[in-house]
Amino acid sequence: MSRSADFIAELEYLTTEEGGRVTPVHSGYRPQLKFAFAEMQTSGRQIFVGRDLVYPGEKVLAEITIIAVPFFAGKLYSGLQFEFREGARIIGSGIITDILNKDLER
């Protein structure tokens, strides 16, 4: 059984021409998340709200669950932007709209 989502974010996937993915992703996708304030990245499961598939260039609202909750405790807030990546390649960006796990809230 998986635990509850940590925050809600609006995600924007880069187009293929911008260096993003070539193929769409399914809800449950787990790219690495990178916040500007830390070198550390964390895996972040994206559960899309109201849909199962997102294509390059599209925006979607998603519930995000991260692995490194203790590291990011007290550091996240609504309006905080982040990148999501596959390895070193940035495939999109997001902005937190709502913190669900209050341990993470700044």
> Could you state, in order of their start, the residue ranges of all structural domains in the chain?
7-104
Report the percentage of the chain scoring pLDDT > 90: 94
> Quick check: 77 pLDDT over 70?
yes
| Domain 7-104, CATH homologous superfamily name and number | Translation factors (2.40.30.10)
Contacts of 36 (CB under 8 A, 6+ apart): 81, 82
With H, G, I as helix, E, B as strand and everything else as coil, classify residue 34: strand
CB atoms within 10 A of CB 59: 11
The answer to whether residue 2 scores a pLDDT higher than 70 is: no
Query: Is the per-residue pLDDT at 1 higher than 60?
Result: no
Would the pTM of this model clear 0.75, i.e. be above it? yes
